[in-house]
Amino acid sequence: MGAVAINDVKKQTIIRRKVIQWFEDHGRSFAWRNTTNPYHILIAEMLLRRTTATAVSKVYNSFLSQFNNPTRLAQTRESTIAHVISSLGLQSVRARQLKKTASIICKSYSGKVPISYAELISLPGVGVYIASAVRNFAFGESIPLVDGNVVYFISRVFGIKYRGPTDSDARDFMTHFGGEEQNAKLYWGIIDLVATVCFRRNSRCHICPLSELCTSSKTGDRINEDT
């Protein structure tokens, strides 16, 4: 993204505040949003890959009560882990990655989730988004997050099309849009708006806090919707 015009900065600030306010009033409550425990957040983000928050919420508490620390998880058979998360799908792959990651955390990091980006992203099943989410949500670092929801949200609200979550321009955009704070509530608000209001078909623009500002609402354009 090129230089951000003054008007764009103002618009971005207004939209950012509206999303955060909407989240505070209407956002969904999930256990992993009420903690800064790095292990709990890492587990949540790993489970949230390729499934919905609602689905994860049905197994999350049970998972953590059985595997309440990396040592316990590392000592458990993959088949047992897979059974606990079978409702999410891809349970064998998830179980293998969860167990391996827990083992590495125990062996290399004294049982504590590492804080550095390089160490996080080296863990099995942890990519750019999960590493960034753990740093932001657990360690309070002001860093942007970009996933399919975010790219979709940008396309709808700002009319900007990015190639996908790995597009560095999308990350640059969120660096500006998220502001210095990169507030977790902004990201949870985006996730919840996409999940409950801004549907791909029949968006509920009439109840959306961004209806006056949203490019897609004004033009009816629907771009980049396969990301």
Binding-site ranges for ligand SF4 (CB under 6 A): 156-157, 197-198, 203-205, 208, 210-211, 214, 216-217
Least CB distance to ligand SF4 at residue 222 (A): 8
Least CB distance to ligand SF4 at residue 157 (A): 5
Whole-angstrom Cα distance, residue 123 to residue 130? 10
AA identity, residue 70: P
Least CB distance to ligand SF4 at residue 180 (A): 24
Least CB distance to ligand SF4 at residue 119 (A): 36
Distances (CA, A) of 43 to 59, 65, 73, 117, 216: 11, 12, 11, 16, 35
217 is written with which tokens? 């609402």
Least CB distance to ligand SF4 at residue 7 (A): 19
**Residue 101 or 203 with smaller CB distance to ligand SF4:** 203
For residue 151, give the H/E element and its range: helix 148-158
Distances (CA, A) of 84 to 5, 67, 96, 97, 133: 50, 10, 13, 14, 24
**Residue 134 or 198 with smaller CB distance to ligand SF4:** 198
**Residue 51 or 215 with smaller CB distance to ligand SF4:** 215
Instruction: Provide the 8-state DSSP code for 135.
Output: I
**Residue 123 or 154 with smaller CB distance to ligand SF4:** 154
**Residue 29 or 206 with smaller CB distance to ligand SF4:** 206
DSSP sequence for 172-190: HHHHHHTTTTT-HHHHHHH
